[in-house]
Amino acid sequence: MFNIGELKDVCEIHKIVKSANRLGIKSTDTQKLYTLRCKIKYQSSNEYISSNRENATQTVIFLLFTRRSIYLDNIVIYKNEKYDIKHINPYGNTGWVELTCEVRK
């Protein structure tokens, strides 16, 4: 099991909100849902060339303790970077959740 004292970093869970104004112009914003303590483990990173541009992706695992609902369409913001959630792995009914996220740079 995990020690609750290992959760030293702070991340935020946001929801993407799509809206349109009176003129029909669509926009997307983020709405903050939760601020949680977490432990971060960097798993891998990939670099590739696409359309004459160098791109990089980094896979990060966030270990959280929460009893709130987190979905795949939410995003994680950690140190002003947006991470897309790729997989949610709960550990039974204890409240521990492991989020596998990816960021593109």
- pLDDT for 50 equals 66
Q: Are 46 and 55 in contact (CB under 8 A)?
A: no
- pLDDT for 44 equals 81
Question: Per residue of the chain (105 residues), what is the pLDDT tens digit?
Answer: 567 788 889 999 999 999 888 888 999 899 999 999 999 988 887 776 766 677 788 899 999 888 888 999 999 999 999 999 999 998 777 888 899 999 877
The single residue listed with the structure tokens 């795949």 is 72
Cα-based distances in Å from 7 to 15, 33, 37:
22, 19, 5
State the CB neighbour count (10 A cutoff) for residue 60. 20
- pLDDT for 104 equals 79
pTM of the model: 0.81
